[in-house]
Homo-oligomer: A and B are copies of this chain.
Amino acid sequence: MDIAYVLYPNMTALDLVGPYEVLGHPTVRRHFVAASTGPVRCDNGLTLHADTTFAELPGADVIVVPGSSRWRDALTDTTMIDWLAAAHPSATWTTSVCSGSTLLGKAGVLAGRRATSHWAVRDTLAADGATVVDERVVIDGDVITAAGVSAGIDMALTLAATLWGTETAELIQLALEYAPQPPFDAGTPETAPPAAVERLRAAFS
B contact residues around A103 at 8 Å (CB): none
A153 and B180 contacting across the interface, CB-CB below 8 Å? yes
The stretch of A53-61, A78-86, A188-196 in contact with B is A188-196
B151 and A177 contacting across the interface, CB-CB below 8 Å? yes
Q: How many angstroms from the CA of A161 to the CA of B192 in the assembled complex?
A: 15
B176 and A136 contacting across the interface, CB-CB below 8 Å? no
The stretch of A11-19, A106-114, A123-131 in contact with B is A11-19
Known contacts A161-B184, A173-B186, A174-B200; can you find 5 more A-B pairs with CB under 8 A? Answer: A14-B18, A14-B20, A24-B43, A170-B186, A170-B193
Q: Closest residue of chain B to A192, judged by CB?
A: B174
Determine if A141 is an interface residue (Cβ-Cβ < 8 Å): no
- 28 A–B contacts from the bound complex (CB under 8 Å): A14-B20, A30-B44, A30-B45, A39-B49, A47-B48, A48-B48, A119-B177, A136-B181, A149-B176, A150-B177, A154-B180, A154-B182, A157-B184, A161-B184, A167-B195, A167-B196, A170-B192, A173-B182, A173-B192, A174-B186, A174-B192, A174-B196, A175-B200, A176-B187, A177-B188, A178-B180, A179-B182, A179-B188
Partner-B contacts on A (CB < 8 A) = 5, 12-14, 17-18, 20-21, 24, 30, 32, 39, 43-49, 51, 98, 118-119, 136-137, 147-151, 153-154, 157-158, 161, 166-167, 169-171, 173-184, 186-189, 191-193, 195-197, 199-200
